[in-house]
Amino acid sequence: MAEINHQILLASRPTGAVSAENFRLVETPLPPLVEGQFRVRNHFLSLDPYMRGRMNETKSYTACQALNEVMVGATAGKVVESRNPAWSVGDTVTAGFGWQEYGTTDGAGVKKVDASRVPLSAYIGCVGMPGATAWYGLLHVCKPVAGETVVVSAASGAVGSVVGQLAKKHGCRVVGIAGGADKCRYVVDELGFDACVDYKAGALEADLKAAAPSGIDCYFDNVGGVVLDAVMADMNAFGRIAICGAISGYDGHPMIMANPRLILVSRLRIEGFIISEHLDVWPQAHAELGEMVASGALKFRESIAQGLASAPVAFMGMLKGHNFGKQLVKLIP
């Protein structure tokens, strides 16, 4: 049993783009367990865009990340030591232990998962918070009807890839927006989208109109900015837009809506949502998504960085779209 826990702390708040200097890697002794506690060796750490917002000391939907504390984040791992009869060595679990190798807990916020049918890493991806986000935003905010056209940005990512596959399951025409030809090929050829627009190709509005000739009924937005502007120009009357994220502005880039008049002209309904405010739907969402993964009906892809020390660089790359699929850090050799 290791006696040292490696952790990454938030050392300073970013000004503009995140840098490696904003983080600090430390070693912390692991204290002996007391009665009622157990210890988890984290196998995977999830890196997600929301973490960038938490790094700022600004008003938001939740408290900001404290300085000199372990960076927030979802983890998946295995119980390695226990003094709690409800938790046994070998149990596979998900939790929110953050950017560190071990978590010590009394069980609050920890969930047992079955890694025999669904890969452990998927429980912090398409069968975790990102999957629940996709499920809720599409089915409860967008509420698509069979035959409608659904567009989703960041289509090859952890959330967008699930949105598109669920929309296809519900009989919709699905158009993805992604960065680069390789990601677009994956979205169409592997995930089964009807079309995918490469926003880096330089003709976003024209390519979007060609991919959605009947206009857009539902849009699931992960990025904001110019992509949102382009989609709004092609929305049908009474279209629905679910705002999940705005990653194009997370690193300090200003975002100004180019034509807000379209909200009125097209009578659009735009709703932002935070999935942590809808925990009541998580069991149903995760049950459905887990069954789809187990049966092969839901496909997913992961970008995996190796070792805790790689987390800051992987995180910065994710914010720039360098990842392909769900960004994870593997914390065990």
- Where does the pLDDT of residue 251 fall: very low under 50, low under 70, confident under 90, or very high at 90 and above? low
pLDDT over 70 (residue 252): no
Alpha-helical regions (H) of 12-83? 50-54
Round to whole Å and give the CA distance between 322 and 320. Answer: 6
Task: Report if residue 286 sits inside a domain.
Answer: no
Rounded Cα distance between 257 and 62, Å, is 24
- Does one domain contain both 135 and 251? yes
Clarify whether residues 137 and 65 are in a common domain.
no
Measured distance CA(148)–CA(140) in Å, rounded: 16
Domain with residue 267: its CATH number is: 3.40.50.720
Share in percent of the chain as helix, strand, coil (round to 5): 30, 25, 40
How many separate domains does the chain show?
2
pLDDT digits (tens, 9 = 90+) for 10-56: 999 999 899 999 999 999 999 999 999 999 999 999 999 999 989 98
Asked if residue 31 is part of any domain, the answer here is yes
CA distance 99 to 88: 23
What DSSP letter does each residue of 44-63 carry, written as one string?
EEE--THHHHHTS-S--SSP
- pLDDT reading at 1 higher than 60: no
* 193 in any annotated domain: yes
| 169 and 69 part of one domain | no
Tokens read off for 11 = 């050392």
- The reported pLDDT for the residue numbered 112 is 98
DSSP string for residues in 158-190: TTHHHHHHHHHHTT-EEEEEESSHHHHHHHHHT
- 160 part of a folded domain: yes
88 neighbors 79 (Cβ within 8 angstroms):
yes
- Could you say which of 276, 292, 321 is where a domain stops? 276
Q: Is residue 262 part of a domain?
A: yes
Same domain (yes/no): 208, 272: yes
* Residue 37 forms part of a structural domain: yes
The predicted structure's pLDDT at residue 277: 95
Instruction: Report the CATH number that the domain containing residue 81 is assigned in CATH.
Output: 3.90.180.10
- Contacts of residue 95, defined as CB under 8 A and 6 or more positions apart, other chains included, come to 40, 74, 75, 76, 77, 103, 105, 109, 110, 111
Instruction: Give the pLDDT of residue 257.
Output: 81
Note the pLDDT of residue 249: 58
Contact by Cβ (8 Å): 277, 304: no
215 and 76 both lie in a single domain: no
